[in-house]
Amino acid sequence: MKLQRIRYQNLSAKQQEIYNFQKISGVLADYGFNCIKLHDDWQGADFIAYHKDGEQVLKVQLKGRLTIAKKYRNKELNMAFRVKETWYLLPHDELVKAVGQTTRWLHTDSWIQKGEYHSGKPSKTLLERLSKYTLDSGRTDDLF
C-alpha cells in the first residue's frame, strides 16, 4: 500500500473541517482530552472535549482561521484555530477582548454590521497576546 499526503488547499470546506477536527483532536489527546464531533453545532460548539479528570468539559467552535463572532459571545464557548502550524484554544470572549486591545477589528463594518471578523494572518502583536493559549502539538514528554 502506498500512502500519499494530501494538500489542505485541495480539500473541500467540509473535508477541511474534518481534517482540522482530526488534527486538533490529536493535539488535545496529549493534554488528556477526548473529543466528540457534533453534527449540529450544539450551543455553538463543533465538538466537545472532555478531560480524563472527569471535571473539565469544553465546548469548542473549530475554525480554519482566527474568528470572532457576536453570536458566540457569552456562551462559554472556546475557539480553536490554527495559525501556520500553531494551534490556539481559548474562550471566545477572551479572544474578543484581546482583539479589542490589539487591533481595530471591532470598529470595522465586518464586525459592526455582519457581526463577525476573521483573519488568516493575525498581527504579531495579537499573536503575542494569545501566546499563553497555544497548544504544543509536538509534545513528547511523558507520553510513553
d(CA 139, CA 111): 36
Please report the DSSP string for 83-118 in residue order.
Answer: ETTEEEEEEHHHHHHHHHHH-SGGGSHIIIIISEEE
Predicted local confidence at residue 72, as pLDDT? 96
99: left (phi over 0), alpha (psi -120 to 50) or beta: alpha
| pLDDT above 80 for 23 | yes
| pLDDT above 70 for 50 | yes
* Topology at the third CATH level for domain 9-135: Trna Endonuclease; Chain: A, domain 1 (3.40.1350)
- pTM of structure: 0.89
d(CA 47, CA 118): 20
